Structure 1
């Protein structure tokens, strides 16, 4: 006898298994899986070979498992990994939206597995959007309310719906839902993501070390405090139609990290930082689409910050 109260969800996972690396690929450094590879995060400014799209077997695999509306997509993947298919590959760490390691495409939209709940992301099995009484598509809280309402009148199958999963767009795929985000991290490192002070040890008039050397006014702190919440998850870059794994655009994540220190009153190399991003592959490549803002898990208005840093570059 089946329990009529049990609900299920179907995950359609875009899977990928890389083709084994060949010796000739390793010799010319063309394999994206080579241990000693180099790539230019700004495209065309390095003698290293360009990063190549990995080749291998691609297919879509469906998993239907018991689930509750309040479960996260990560909960479902962990259940599949532990009880159904141990070969399924995905990445996560903290599981609480703080590390950013589990960014993927959920129904085509970049987001974190650990913060995406089924009630917010499931689609009807027919693929049709949920409509309200007036025939308009439900979005945001309205969609969640609609899903909650469906729970009281589930179809005979007890299915919550379907969720499609794929790797984070804009990055090479390593396996299944794991994308290679090294290009983004390389770009961030290029822009010196750390405070550059003048190195002078402040002292009091008595000759003692001034422990309040870096005290800031609240207004100064407010200029960069929100930007310091960036967890380099890559969601903004996966949403950006201009970014393509570092081949044409430095990317919004690197510019957010640059802006964080440009706005820090304690930093002493502001002009150098602005010079570093004032390039064809830097702020000049931003098309102000603002797609980077839509799903930032830390609540940063990435599009607005991009506009602000572009304005600073042009006004200097």
Structure 2
């Protein structure tokens, strides 16, 4: 049994009951109607949540090799059943458990205590508005000095981990963010293969099962993009999307790029036209922050650059 602990500082939220007037108000009258993404719910995604907000601390028995999800499950089962968070597979494949860990979007199930626990002094450098003092790097970031295994202090504490809902999305409760705006953006770009619809036949008149056979080189052009699990981490990292500006977001552009690069798809022109809008590729500032924490290893920033280049070259 472990004698070490970790302190979780969790930003909690309980929504206020929605009034009938709020439901009837609907979307923003200022949404861009010239773009297919203007009425996607982006306005509601940026709306400040209404309800009770507070930070609650939990001290949990843990080891350096535990995942942050393990700690939350311990809290849920033995300490506080009211704590709300989302997860499914627990192996970094479904993307449902994306949150902000020490201010950086990541998956709960793949985030390990040894990589994210920080000394209590570093945690204390966060002010009441959530801003960190200059010079304090977030654990897990490129600029942070991450220890292989945190050393427990005299009290047996491995450190502090701060958790909040994924940035850029409306908060539903505690660590659960509503990612429907992102999924709506992806759906609007028709994320499925659109071929000519004509069944090829063999010389004997039978259906040719190799109609869409590809060379390895053709598959390699988009195969990595099929690993996207729509977790929202790249959107939470993007300063344009999470900052509240009108932007379709990197996740939707990744899905568009996946089919633009597929040799079997015959709607390339239409797909490029759909994202050639003020809140499409034109809104991307090429910051490349979206690349930093992709749990599936996609170089999102590079893919953004490639799809922007295709739009400009057409």
**TM-score when normalising by structure 2:** 0.87
Residue of structure 1 in register with 2:100 after alignment: 105
- Partner of residue 53, structure 1: 48
2:5 paired residue number: 8
Matched positions, count: 295
Q: Corresponding residue for 2:127?
A: none
* Shift in Å, 1:156: 1.9
Among residues 249, 253, 256, which one is paired with 1:255 in the alignment?
253
In structure 2, the gaps of 5 or more residues are 125-136
* 1:134-153 equivalences in 2 (<5 Å): 143-145=146-148, 147=150, 150=151
Aligned ranges 1:190-209 → 2 under 5 Å: 190-209=188-207
- Find the aligned partners of 1:305 and 1:126 in 2 and give their Cα distance: 38
Q: Which position in structure 2 is the counterpart of 1:266?
A: 264
Compared with structure 1, are the counterparts of its residues 156 and 304 closer, same or farther at alpha carbon in structure 2 (3 Å cutoff)?
A: same
After superposition, the Cα gap between the structure-2 partners of 1:245 and 1:94, relative to the gap in structure 1 and judged at 3 Å, is farther
C-alpha distance in 2, partners of 1:228/1:47?
24
Superposed, 1:183-194 pairs within 5 Å as 183-194=181-192
Compute the RMSD of aligned alpha carbons.
2.7
Shift of the alpha carbon at 1:26?
2.5
SS of 1:161's partner is strand
Structure 1 unmatched ranges of 5 or more:
32-37, 130-136
Distance in 2 (CA, whole Å) between partners of 1:303 and 1:145 is 28
State the shift of 1:20 in Å. Answer: 1.1
The one-character-per-residue Cα deviations of 1:243-266 (angstroms, maximum 9, x if unpaired) are 048750000000000000000000
Instruction: Kindly state the Cα deviation for residue 167 of structure 1 after the two structures are TM-superposed.
Output: 0.4
- Per the alignment, residue 128 of structure 2 pairs with none
Find the aligned partners of 1:72 and 1:286 in 2 and give their Cα distance.
33
Q: Flag as ranges the 4+ runs of structure 1 deviating above 2 A.
A: 26-31, 42-50, 137-147, 244-247
2:296 paired residue number: 298
CA pair 108-21 structure 1, distance change in 2 beyond 3 A: same
> Which residue does the alignment assign to 1:277?
275
Shift in Å, 1:46: 3.7
Aligned residue in 1 for 2:118: 123
Judged with a 3 Å threshold, the aligned counterparts in structure 2 of structure 1 residues 268 and 246 are, in CA distance, closer, same or farther, namely: farther
Please say if 1:65 is aligned against 2:64.
no
What is the rounded CA distance, in whole Å, between the counterparts of 1:310 and 1:63 in structure 2?
45
- Structure 1 residues 97-119: Cα deviation after superposition (integer angstroms, max 9, x where no partner): 00000000000000000000000
CA contact (8 A) 1:168 1:238 kept: yes
Which of 90, 94, 97 is equivalent to 2:85? 90
Corresponding residue for 2:15? Answer: 18
